[in-house]
Structure 1
Amino acid sequence: MGIDIPWARAELAQFLKLTDLYVPPDPPGVITISSYMENRGSEADIVASAHVVEQILDRLLPRWRTEVPNDKNKTVNRWYQHREAAQRADAALQRDAEVRARLGDNSPQLSAGAMHPWVWEGARALWQSGHFREAVTAAARKVNAETQNKVGRRNPSETKLFQNVFSLSAPKADEPRLRLMDDDGSDTFRSIHRGAMAFAEGCYAGIRNPNSHEDGLPELPEHEALEQLAAFSVLARWVDAATLETI
């Protein structure tokens, strides 16, 4: 499901309102000369709002913590970085479609935050710090672990795990299967499960292994890493939706 734009913009606007800076009035009968400014909202209200806003920012600007300047957090206000990120996110929500159309790129956009939760939960922290290759590896490990959890096994793992769970043979006492459709004896049933095995092997042999075992590899470009995450998201959705078949 896509982001609820009116809701997100309202949350961002509320946060910006709470963190707006102003010079507090002098007490009655007192005149002060000071550049001191404070936020309009209470600290409790700002913290509560920030909890939601940070999740919006993570979806729209995954690397806002490293890409948006925070040098004025101490000298101006602790919420300075959040405010600039919120302003950028609001502009993206309001004008992204227009900008892409005007620049001649109005194609569908792929969002890491919209991928299967196993993938994005595994990758999020590393992705936000710009460690794209490691983020893909972490996502691969998460999909492997969740698949093991679903079938109740710790061995085998990765390629051998998926070959086993998508095997066309009947389940055994210690080897449950994952079924993407009922076994009706059709070529479709066989094709789907052979395809799932081959796809999983490609993900782990062709993506996960090189990313985690080759020293000195340059950092992945973000768009390539996003494509690799998408591959693991497809696999995760298949596993998540599959029926567990035991004896």
Structure 2
Amino acid sequence: MGIDITWARDELAQFLKLTELYRPADPPGVMTVSSHLSNRGPRAEIVASAHVVEQILDRVLPRWRTEVPDDRNRTVNRWYQHREAAQRADAALQRDAEVRVRLGDDAPQLSAGSMHPWAWDGAKALWRSGHFREAVTAAARKVNAETQNKVGRRDLSETKLFQSVFSQTAPKAGEPRLRLMVDDGGDTFRSVHRGAMAFAEGCYAGIRNPNSHEDGLPELPEHEALEQLAAFSVLARWVESATLETA
């Protein structure tokens, strides 16, 4: 599901209104010298609004905490960084589609926030700090752990785990299976589960293992890391939607 642009822009606008900056008048007979600015809205309302706005910013500008300057945050105003990020996010929401069309690239956009929660929740903390390779590895671990939870196994992990759960053989005691469709004895059933097993092996052997075990690898470009994250999102959806079969 895509972001509700109208709602998001309304929330950003309300936050910017609450945090509008002004310089309070000096008390009578007193002259102060300070760069600090106050906000128009009550603190409680600003904090409540910020709770929602931060989630919007995380979707629209995932690295706003590190990319939007905050060096003036302490001296000017507590919400200075949030305000600039909100202004950038509003512009992005308003004009992103137009910019892509004008620049000749109006292809569909892939959002990490719309991926399966097992993939994105495992990755987002590292992703937001720019550690893309480690973020993908964290997502791989999360998908593996949730699969172990679903089938109730701790003795297998990663490639061996998925070879077992997607095996076309009947489940045995202590060896449950995940079924993506009913076993009707047809070619489609065999193809789907053979493909799921091979796909999972590719994710862990071709993505997770090199990311985890190769020292000195350069950081992944963000778009490549997003593609890798999408692979684990696909696998996560298959696992979560699969029917558990036990002996």
Q: Paired residue for 1:56?
A: 56
Q: Paired residue for 1:98?
A: 98
SS in 1 for 2:76: coil
Separation in 1 of the partners of 2:245 and 2:144?
Answer: 18
Structure 2: 5+ residue stretches without partners: none
Aligned length: 245
Q: Paired residue for 2:3?
A: 3
What is the 5 A alignment of 1:7-86?
7-25=7-25, 30=28, 32-34=30-32, 36-86=36-86
Q: Paired residue for 2:165?
A: 165
Separation in 2 of the partners of 1:127 and 1:172?
Answer: 39
Partner amino acid for 2:212?
S
Check if 1:212 corresponds to 2:212.
Answer: yes
Separation in 1 of the partners of 2:128 and 2:194?
Answer: 35
Q: Paired residue for 1:230?
A: 230
Separation in 1 of the partners of 2:31 and 2:11?
Answer: 35
Where in structure 1 do 4 or more consecutive aligned residues deviate above 6 Å?
none
Cα offset, 1:95, TM superposition:
0.4
Separation in 1 of the partners of 2:109 and 2:233?
Answer: 15
Q: Paired residue for 1:153?
A: 153
Q: Paired residue for 1:177?
A: 177
Separation in 2 of the partners of 1:57 and 1:37?
Answer: 23
Separation in 1 of the partners of 2:23 and 2:66?
Answer: 30
Separation in 2 of the partners of 1:223 and 1:26?
Answer: 51
Separation in 2 of the partners of 1:238 and 1:208?
Answer: 18
SS in 2 for 1:164: helix
What's the % identity of the aligned pairs? 84
Separation in 2 of the partners of 1:92 and 1:108?
Answer: 15
Partner amino acid for 1:38?
S
SS in 2 for 1:193: helix
Which whole-Å deviations, capped at 9, do the CAs of 1:70-94 have from their partners, x for residues lacking one?
0110121111111111111000100
Q: TM-score, normalised by structure 2?
A: 0.96
Partner amino acid for 1:131?
H
Q: Paired residue for 1:187?
A: 187
Separation in 2 of the partners of 1:55 and 1:149?
Answer: 28
